[in-house]
Amino acid sequence: MKYRILSTSPTFGYYAFEPFEYLKSHDCKVELVPQDKKLSERELIGEVTKYDAMIAGTNKITESIIRASKRLRVIAKHGAGIDNIDVKAASNRGIVILNTPGANSNSVADLAIGLIISLARKIPFADRCVREGGWPRIVGIDLSGKTLGIIGLGQIGKKVAKRALGFDMKVLAYDIFEDKDFARQLGVTYLSLDEVIAESDFLSIHIPMTPLTRQLIGRRELELMKRKAFLINISRGDVVDEERLYQALKEKRIQGAALDVFSSEPPKGSPLLMLDNVIVSPHVGGITFEALRETGMMCAHGIIDILEGRQPHNVVNPEVLK
């Protein structure tokens, strides 16, 4: 084999096999870190010297790991968010960073709507009651006529908006880049962040993790929300101040929350897990067979393009190619 590739992603190569086979067919030996193993920084420093390319999951790819690499030419993120990769350090070493924006947008949008319905109809609570022998009258709320606020109207946010409109919801949005054509065609209203937060019955977050978005939703923002409102976070855990969210939920200052992401994953010991007005899932927004195939193929094609001297798509640091 001409090239060696290391995947630290817990999903690449395990559910959708076409990306793995594509790399093998292009003279690559692909080594998968076992799903139940998360390599430490020290372990990765020792391993990375052997590889021409890496497929990264959620583990941190630090400056020390990048400096230790001898042959590494490309790091492909098996997902869109690159907050766990030191892009500056990689650029300094001439290593190309790729990501896969939009590959899992349908699956993430589906889960967002699923969580909204679960909050509105208290589905997890109803399930537990019946399993425990109960048969209670659980009163939910309709989505029709309610207001959905979307923070981040990018590829995922737009698909959430389209789905919500199918439920006859009113959709408000905040984004630093406003797609006015999209908003006009679908009847989505752009407002300021504070206005979206204050006017929403359901508030769904779809923004990347950056220094500017860290704990964007804190005490002040939670106090702006309606007392009957629900928060849905399916982006990154650190976008929400979890301590403030816990207090708001415990004191019933907002009605409930659904969380697919946490600041520390898994969230062992998080007090949020003790609240009955919180629905949780294990960061599965982008994990469907279809999304994993698309994400994997985008990684595989990008890696081969770099290794064979072609211009790839979705380059995070294009200055390296110059």
Question: Are 59 and 37 in contact, with CB atoms under 8 Å apart?
Answer: no
Same domain, 167 and 274: yes
Asked if pLDDT for residue 10 goes beyond 80, the answer is yes
Same domain, 212 and 271: yes
> Is the pTM value of this prediction over 0.75?
yes
Three-class DSSP labels, 127-168: HHHHHCCCCCCCCCCCCCCCEEEEECCCHHHHHHHHHHHCCC
Read off the DSSP letter of residue 48: G
> pLDDT grade, residue 185 (50/70/90)?
very high
How much is the average pLDDT of 13-18?
95
How much is the average pLDDT of 305-312?
96
Same domain, 114 and 99: no
Same domain, 34 and 54: yes
Same domain, 68 and 49: yes
CATH number, position 116: 3.40.50.720
Tell me the C-alpha distance between 188 and 156, whole Å. Answer: 15
Which two tokens mark 312? 């790839």
- Could you say which of 78, 236, 244, 301 is catalytic? 236
> pLDDT grade, residue 106 (50/70/90)?
very high
Query: In this structure, which amino acid lies at residue 251?
Result: E
- The terminus-to-terminus CA distance of the chain in angstroms comes to 28
* Residue-number span of the structural domain to which 15 is assigned: 3-103+288-321
- Could you say which of 78, 163, 283, 301 is catalytic? 283
Tell me the C-alpha distance between 72 and 201, whole Å. Answer: 48
**Annotated catalytic residue 265:** yes
Which two tokens mark 47? 């391993």
**Pairing, β 147-151 against β 96-98:** unpaired
Same domain, 193 and 125: yes
- Could you say which of 265, 290, 310, 313 is catalytic? 265
